[in-house]
A and B are shown apart, each in its own frame.
Chain A
Amino acid sequence: MSRRHIIALVLSGLLLVAAYLPFSDLYELPAYTYIPIPAREGWFAIQREGRPHFERTDMRFQEGDDARWSRPDWDDSGWRLIAPFDVPSRAGVFWLRWRVRPAESGATLPPGINVTTVAAYEIFWDGELLGRNGMPGDSAARETPGRIDQIFPLTLAQAGPGEHVIAMRVSTHRCGFSNPRSGVLVHLESAVELYRYRAGNAVIPTLAAGAMFVLALICGLLWLFGPRRGELAWAMVLCAAASVMQALPVIRWLQNYPSDLYHWVIKGGAALHAIMAVSLIAVIARHLAVPRLRWLLAGSTVAMALIAAVTPPVRNTEGAYMMLAACAVVMAIGAWAARPGRRGPWFVVVGALITGLWIAVEPRGYTWTGFLPRFLPMLAGATIMLAATARREFEESERTRQMAARLELELLKKNLQPHFLLNTLTALTELVEQRPADAVGLIEDLAAEFRLIASMATERTVPLAQELTLCRTHLRVLGVRTGREYRLETQGIDDDARVPPAVFLTLIENAFSHQHAAASPAVFRLTGETDASGAMRYRFLSPGEISPLKAKTGGGTGLRYVRARLEECFPQKWSLLDGATTEGWQTCITIPRMEASP
C-alpha cells in the first residue's frame, strides 16, 4: 500500500469525523422527565428539558374490540394499567387508552403525535378517528401492516385547553418477533420537532452509509489494481457491510418501510454486524500476520453465531455485542503484535478500547444512529496503524531504492571510470613521450571532464547544457585516444531543461563498450520534443554497428544506472525504450518537463 493510499484513507476518516460533529445531537428528541402529580392519582407531569410540557396518565389496556371504546367518556377505570413495552404480540385486537392535558390551565398541547410501533392501529383523539396506520385485524390474514413510524398532526382546536383522551385500536399479528411482548412508543410533540427528529435520525446513517460505501470502493479498487493485499479485500467487505447496515435506518427514516419487515431488518442488521465483526478481526489479524488466520476467523464466526443465538432479539443489541466481542479480539491481537520499534498495533488497541467501552456503556444506541461515532475510534486506530506500516514500508523501500542507485553508481565507477582512466593514461604516456603539445590538450580535456563530473556528483538533476558539455568533453578525449573524430549534434533541445547527471554520458560509454566504431566523423545525435502529455522525449542515437554482445545484454550496467537515476528523479513517471536502427542504437527517454532545480 503506497503513501497515497494511506493519505486517502486518513482523509476519509477525518471527513467522517468532520461530518459527524455538527449533527451529533440531531437525532435526539429533547429530554423528558416524568413527575407524579400527588393531587391527581395516576397523572404525571411531563417536563421537556426542565420545563413543563404537558400532563398525562398511565396507559390502560383492554383485550377485545368495541367501537365505543374510542369515546372520551367511556369508563376505562376497570382496564388494566400497562407499560408501553408490555403490550401483547399476536393476541388479537386490543385497545389502549390514556389521557393528556396541557401543563397549565388555558394552554394548548403540542400539536403532533409520533407513534413508533410494529403494529397495525387506528388512533382516536377525543373519540374522533385521527388516523390509521395499516388496518388492525383479528388474524394475521385480516391485518394490514402499517409503517413503523407515523406522525399525526393535531389542529390547534384539537390540542386546545382541557383534558383529552387518546385511544388506539391495535393488533400485532405481523410483528414478526418471537418475543410475546411488543411495544407502542408515543410522543406528543410539535410536528416540526417530530419531523426534525425523523430527518435527524436519517442524517448520521446517511453519512455513514455513503462514507462506508466510498471506503469500500477505495479498498476494493486498491485491492483490484494494487498489490492484492488480503487486508484490503477484508476492509472492503467490512466497509461494504457497514454501508448496507447503515442504509437500513436510512430507508426507515426516509422511506418508512412496512412494520412487518422490521424483524427482517433487525435480523439483517445482526447478520451484517457478524460480517463486520469477522471482517474487522480479519483486517487486523491479516495485517499483523497472525498465524492460523483461518482458525481464528472460523472461531470468530462461531462466536458471532452464538451471540446472535443467545441475545434477546427485541432489544436489537446483537450487533453491539458482536462489535464488542470483535473489539476484544482486536485488542488481544494488537497487544500480541506490539513490540519495541513497532508502535502501529498500539493505535489499534487504543481505538478498539474506546469503541468497545463506548458500545459497552450504550449498547442500545449503537446499532443504528450511534454506529458511526462509536466506530470512528476503531477506524482511526486501524487507519493510523496502516499508515504507520505504510510509512515504515515506504521508508524501507526508499532506503532500498537509494541504496540500489548508489550501488549502481559505485558499480559504474568501478567498471567504467577506472577502465576509462587507465586507457586514457596509457594513451597519454605515449603522447607525453612523442607529442607533448597534444598531451597537454588531452590532460586539459580530461581535467575538464573530471571537474564536470565532480560538480554533478551530488546533484539529482543538472541542466541539459551542462550534461552536453560533459558529453562533448568526453568525446574529445575519446577522439584523441582512438584517432577518430566524434561529434554530438542536438536538435530541439532546451539548455535549461534538467536531466539526471551522466545519463547521456553513460549512453556514449555504452556505445564505445558495445558497438563497433562508426566511420570518422562519427556523429551522435540528441533530439528533443514535447509529447502529447507535455513530457519531454529525448531520442539519443549512437552511431555504429551493434555488437552481438549488446544485442544480447541490451547495455548491462550502464543502462541499469540510467534507469536507476531516472527512477530516483522521476518515480514511476519515466520511460526508456531502446533498440537497433539502421544508423546505430537509439535510446528514447521520456521524462516530465523540469526546468527548475527540484
Chain B
Amino acid sequence: MRVLIVEDEPLVAQRLERFCREILGSRLEGLHTAPTFDAAEARLAEYAADLVLLDLNLEGRDGMELLQASVARSFHTIIVSANTEHALRAFEFGVLDFVPKPFSRDRLARALERAAQPAPTTAGVARHLAIKKHGRVETIAVEAIAYVRGAGNYSEIVLRDGHRELHDKSLERLQDILPGDFTRIHKSYLVRLADIVALHAHEGSRYDAELRGGTFLPIGRTRYRELRARFA
C-alpha cells in the first residue's frame, strides 16, 4: 500500500509516519509526507497513492474543500483531524474513516486495516460522491445513481436521468464507500439491490438483472446464485 500523509504539524506527521510503518509493515510499499495540500497535489502527480491520511485543518484552507477534492480522487481518504464536527459530513462524502485527534496506535490501526482489506468489511455511508469535472469538484447524490460500471482504473456512474459521469476511483473502492445496499452483480457492475425488479436466466448460463426503468445488466455466474437466494 502506498500512503501519503498530508499534515502540517511535524510532530503529528512524524507520529502518523511511525505508526503506519509499524502497523502496515511489509504491506507498506511507499510512504510520503506533505505539509500542505498543494505540496500533496504535487506529490500525487508523480506518485500513485492508495491511501491519503488528511488533516482538515491545513493552514489557511477550508477543510471541507480539501475533503471534497480528496475524495474525488482514485485513492481512499482517511481524515485525521481534531475537527470532529466535520466527521459526519466527511463520511457522507465518502471518506473511508475519520480518526479524531489525539489518536492512539490502535485507532489508527483500525483505519489502516480497513483500507488494506481487499474487500470491504463494513458498509460505507456515503450520501454524495465528489467527482472532478472540468477542472473543479462537483458532487452528485448517491440517491441519483442507477448503477456503476467499472471502466479499468475508473468507474462510470450512470445516473437515473441517463447522464453518465466518470469517477477516478475503481469499482472496488467505490463499493468500499457506497452504502451496503450497493452490491456487485458482475465484476463490472455495482447495483443498488432495491432497483432490481427481476432476474432472468438465459441459455448458456447467461443471466441478466432487470432494473427499475427497464435496463438489463449482466450478472456473473457465481453472483447469480447469491442474488437468487436473496430474492427467494
Contacts and interface: CB of A to CB of B under 8 A. Distances in A.
Given A545-B60, A547-B61, 17 more contacts: A418-B82, A419-B57, A419-B83, A422-B82, A423-B82, A426-B102, A427-B11, A430-B15, A434-B14, A512-B59, A513-B60, A515-B59, A516-B59, A517-B8, A547-B59, A547-B60, A549-B61
B10 A426 contact: no
13 contacts: A418-B82, A422-B82, A423-B9, A425-B102, A426-B11, A426-B103, A430-B15, A433-B15, A481-B12, A483-B10, A546-B60, A549-B60, A549-B62
B60 A516 contact: yes
Interface string A411-453: 0000000110011011111110110000000000000000000
A430 B12 contact: yes
A517 B61 CA distance: 12
A482 B82 contact: no
Interface residues of B, number: 19
B200 interface: no
A252 interface: no
B21 interface: no
B82 A419 contact: yes
Given A418-B82, A422-B102, A429-B102, A482 B9 contact: yes
A550 interface: yes
Contacts of B61: 547, 549
B5 to A, nearest CB: 13
Interface in B9-55: 9-12, 14-15, 36
A430 B108 CA distance: 14
B101 interface: yes
A514 interface: yes
Interface of A: 418-419, 422-423, 425-431, 433-434, 480-483, 512-517, 545-550
Interface of B: 8-12, 14-15, 36, 57, 59-62, 82-83, 100-103
B11 A431 contact: yes
A145 B181 CA distance: 109
Nearest to A478: B9
A455 B103 CA distance: 31
Contacts of A423: 9, 12, 57, 82, 101
A507 to B, nearest CB: 15
Contacts of A418: 82
B18 to A, nearest CB: 8
Contacts of B36: 516
Contacts of A514: 60
Given A422-B102, A423-B9, A430 B14 contact: yes
A582 B133 CA distance: 35
Contact of A426 (B12, B59, B60): B12
A517 to B, nearest CB: 6
B11 A430 contact: yes
A531 B14 CA distance: 49
A431 B83 CA distance: 21
B109 to A, nearest CB: 15
B33 to A, nearest CB: 12
A483 B12 CA distance: 11
A545 B61 CA distance: 12
Contacts of A512: 59
Instruction: Identify the 6 closest CB pairs spanning chains A and B, nearest first.
Output: A547-B60, A422-B82, A426-B102, A430-B15, A427-B11, A483-B10
A514 B62 CA distance: 9
A483 B15 CA distance: 14
Contacts of A425: 101-102
Contacts of B83: 419
A30 B211 CA distance: 113
Contacts of B9: 423, 426-427, 481-483
A419 B85 CA distance: 10
Contacts of A516: 36, 59-60
Nearest to B8: A482
A512 B101 CA distance: 18
B11 A483 contact: yes
A481 B101 contact: no
B11 A515 contact: no
Contacts of B14: 430, 434
A512 to B, nearest CB: 7
A431 B14 CA distance: 10
Contacts of A517: 8, 59
A434 B11 CA distance: 10
Given A547-B60, A547-B61, A549-B61, A422 B101 contact: yes
Contacts of B15: 426, 429-430, 433
Nearest to B14: A430
Given A516-B59, A549-B61, A426 B101 contact: yes
Nearest to B101: A426
A443 to B, nearest CB: 14
A418 B82 CA distance: 8
Given A418-B82, A426-B15, A482 B10 contact: yes
Contacts of B62: 549
A431 B11 CA distance: 7
B215 to A, nearest CB: 43
A433 B60 CA distance: 30
A550 B82 contact: no
